[in-house]
Amino acid sequence: MADITAKVFRFDPTVDRMPRYETYRIPADEPMTVLTILRYIRRQIDPTISFRDYICYKGICANCMVTVNGKPVRGCSTRINPGETVLVEPMFKHPIVKDLVVDFGTTIKSEDAVYTIRRGVFIEARRQ
């Protein structure tokens, strides 16, 4: 058994001035999907984490889209192997509601949007 290490973007606009990256270790003896990792974190480690859960169970509906290691993916069908470290961030170009939850209904066009993640935004937080 080798732990999966998940570095997860955390940001609550009502209380945080800057986002932070929390590191969680998840015991794993076989590959886990990003969504099963997030569900494990919420159930076993930190119930305050926010993300969008399964809807379709088929890798289609895209409700669970997040950014993993910089790439947009469906959380339900992206596998992480035991021993790997993974960076999980919200989808870019949409305003962040909290943590990994974005408002899919709104697309941010201006560069100066505050609560979004995009090349150049929140860089300092990522260097911590």
Partner 1 sequence: MSFVIKEVKTDVVVVGGAGAGCRAAIAAADEGVEVVLLDKGTAGRSGATPCALWSIQAPFGERGMDSRDSPEQMFRDMVVGGRYLGDQNIVEVISHTACDRILDLESYGVKFKKTEDGRFYQTPMPGQTYPRSCFIIENGNALSTILAKEASQRRNVWIRNDFLAFHILKRGDRAVGVLGLDVKEGELEAILAKSVVLASGGYTSIWDFSDNPPTMTGDAVAMAYNAGADIVDLEFNQFYGTDVLWPPSVRGTVVLYELLAEPFTDANVYNSEGKPVFPKPLPIRDEAIRIMYREIMEGRGTPHGGLWYDVTKSPKPREEVRRIFEEMTPRHYEFIKNAAGIDLVEEPLEVAPASHYQCGGVYINEKGETTVAGLFACGECAGNYMGANRLAGSALADTQTMGAQAGRHAALAAKKSPEPRVSRRSLEEEGSRACSLFKKKRNPISPQEVKEQIKRVVGRYVAPIRDAQGLKTALNELKRIKSKLIPNMAIPCVAKYNLEWVDALEANLMVETAELTVGSALFRTESRGHHFRLDHPETDDKRWLKHTVVRMKGGNPSYFTRPVIYTRMPPQGA
- How is the chain split among helix, strand and coil, in percent rounded to 5? 15, 30, 55
Please, which residue, 16 or 111, has the CB nearer to partner 1? 16
105 vs 120, beta carbon nearer partner 1: 105
Pick 5 or 36: Cβ nearer partner 1: 36
Query: Could you give phi then psi for residue 19, rounded to 5 degrees?
Result: -75, 165
Cβ atoms of residues 10 and 89 within 8 Å = no
Shortest distance (Å) from residue 74 CB to partner 1: 9
Residues that bind partner 1 (CB under 8 A): 12-14, 30-33, 35-36, 42-43, 47-63, 76-79, 97-99, 101, 103-105
If the CB atoms of residues 14 and 128 are measured against partner 1, the closer one turns out to be: 14
| Least distance between partner 1 and beta carbon 55 (Å) | 5
As given in the structure block, the two tokens for residue 22 are 């929390």
Euclidean distance between CA atoms 106 and 97, whole angstroms: 11
| Minimum distance from residue 123 beta carbon to partner 1 (Å) | 24
Contact assessment for residue 51 and residue 25, using Cβ atoms and an 8 Å cutoff:
no
